[in-house]
Amino acid sequence: MSEGLAKGVGVARAHHFESVAQQREATTLGIWAWLITELLLFSALFLVALILRIQHPEATVAAARHLKFWIGAANTVVLICSSLTMSMAIEFSRMGWQRAMVRAMLATAALGTLFLVLKGYEYYADWDEHMMPFLSSRPFALEETPAARLFVNLYYVATMLHAVHLFTGITLLLGMTWMAAKAGFLSRHQNWIEIYGLYWHFIDLVWILAFPILYVVNRGT
């Protein structure tokens, strides 16, 4: 991995590692191990969603018709674009182009925020259509099909868990951007950008799984 790095770009060795190569290997393995546990966290939710779909196909489809397909689709595009800007940030960091890297990171954070804004608007639209069955004060639009509320509630649990991940991701990204804008960052912590990039792509990937499982497969009758 260290080949392909521009001059003056690299990683400062922490005291307990024997070499930078060992340190890079450890951090890469560490983030992948973390992503695997995260994937299992979401997998369990997706599994429950699919079980509901098998047990209550009509109710699930009736509920899923209320999802805002085009907002979900637009958000998919937004997140894929953010993964592109994050990849650019990684590439710029390897080349030592610090200013370009910082801009790409800011663009990534902006796209992530755009996703949250769209998602928030979608939640508002859901609220408007009485599609929030967990609110006891607001009657549920599909009260006559009780199983529909299962799917809708699960949709909230899954998308909110994803939104929490994205919000955490944006916060971390902005904090890191602030540090990465300082002189000498790339000579000491270039691998932070690479490691963080994997986490960002993961958030993107989870949405790419969630969108078909929640929105797409339940559209048909």
HSE (CB half, 13 Å, CA atoms) of 33?
6
DSSP bridge partners of 189: 11
Q: Which is nearer to other proteins, 54 or 183 (CB)?
A: 54
Q: Which is nearer to other proteins, 136 or 221 (CB)?
A: 136
Asked if 153 is part of the footprint of other proteins (rule: CB under 8 A), the reply reads yes
Measure the CA–CA gap between 220 and 211, rounded to whole angstroms: 15
User: 4-26 as b/e, with b when 16 or more CB fall inside 10 Å?
Assistant: ebeeebbbeeeeeeeebeebbee
User: Site map for other proteins, 24-53, x if CB under 8 A?
Assistant: -xxx-xx--xx-xxx-xxxxxx--x--xx-
Measure the CA–CA gap between 17 and 141, rounded to whole angstroms: 59
**Shortest distance, position 6 Cβ to other proteins, whole Å:** 26
Measure the CA–CA gap between 104 and 193, rounded to whole angstroms: 11
Yes or no: say if 218 and 61 are a contact pair by the CB < 8 Å rule. yes
Cβ neighbours around 219 below 10 Å, total = 11
Tokens of 53: 């779909």
Considering only residues 173 to 212 of the shown chain, the ones binding other proteins according to CB under 8 A are none
Cβ neighbours around 53 below 10 Å, total = 19
User: Site map for other proteins, 10-29, x if CB under 8 A?
Assistant: -----xxx----x--xxx-x
Measure the CA–CA gap between 119 and 117, rounded to whole angstroms: 5
Q: Which is nearer to other proteins, 149 or 201 (CB)?
A: 149
DSSP bridge partners of 11: 189
Asked if 137 is part of the footprint of other proteins (rule: CB under 8 A), the reply reads no
Q: In terms of Cα–Cα distance, which of 106, 104, 80 is closest to 92?
A: 104
Identify the residue among 12, 50, 55, 182 touching other proteins (CB under 8 A): 55
Q: Which is nearer to other proteins, 27 or 113 (CB)?
A: 27
Count of residues of this chain found to bind other proteins when the rule CB under 8 A is applied: 37
Q: Which stretch binds other proteins (CB under 8 A): 104-112, 152-160, 186-194, 207-215?
A: 152-160
**Shortest distance, position 85 Cβ to other proteins, whole Å:** 28
**Shortest distance, position 71 Cβ to other proteins, whole Å:** 22
Q: Which is nearer to other proteins, 34 or 69 (CB)?
A: 34
**Residue ranges that bind other proteins, judged by CB under 8 A:** 15-17, 22, 25-27, 29-30, 33-34, 36-38, 40-45, 48, 51-52, 55-56, 59, 133-134, 136, 146-147, 149-150, 153-154, 157, 161
